[in-house]
Amino acid sequence: MSLANQLRDGLALLGLDLSAAIQSRLLDFVALLRKWNRTYNLTAIRDEGEMVTQHLLDSLSVLPALPQSCAGISPGTATADWRWADVGSGAGLPGIPLAIARPDLAMTLIEAVDKKSAFQRQAKIELGLSNVTVFNGRVEAMPGGRFDVVISRAFADLTDFVRVAGHLAAPYGRLYAMKGLASKDEARCLPSGWVMLDCARLSVPGLDAQRHLIVLERL
């Protein structure tokens, strides 16, 4: 199966209706990542087909959950006005696929490793991502209270995610943790003032593994 057909079929299973131009741009991102990966080792995944599944479709699997998990995120705030931060973005995941699929979202990629931020900047230029901002530095150095959604695939522990990135969220903002297994113990150990709002099971086409989107908010 071609990469284009794999992506098209995966998007259909996710219920996402993305234009041919957006799908082409997503595949251009995969090609650029594979090219840079030969030299800079940005991701352990080398095969383009696996990149489509584990990078593109995995990142985009959060989109079907957005109407439920983000509803009322800020009174009077439309979806198009959401300001996102992708913490520990690495090779731009999930931030770049989300920014490509939803050009109405303002996405800030936060990454401390120079070579990964350099790749993000190149992807922004080559893919024409005017809605992406790259911040090369530690998340603790980023000014707080600016984002409606703070998302990450980088944190294994919810407590660490809140302690490191919680300050980024606006008063009505939420933290989105993309995880494999969802642990109730983690929810009980959250820092004071935070609570788990939702734990949504994600289905990633072609991936035989558990995926969850955990939504956290301030009390």
Question: Who contacts 159 (Cβ-Cβ below 8 Å, separation ≥6)?
Answer: 186, 189, 190, 191
Break the chain into its structural domains and give their ranges.
61-218
Judge whether 184 and 211 are in contact, CB under 8 Å: no
List the structure tokens of 14.
């996710």
CA distance 4 to 47: 14
Neighbours of 25 (CB within 10 A): 21
The whole-number mean pLDDT for each consecutive block of 10 residues of the chain, a chain of 219 residues, reads 96 96 98 95 93 96 76 49 92 97 95 97 98 97 93 90 95 92 77 90 91 91
CATH topology of domain 61-218: Rossmann fold (3.40.50)
DSSP secondary-structure letter at 191? Answer: P
Judge whether 219 and 195 are in contact, CB under 8 Å: yes
Q: Record the pTM.
A: 0.93
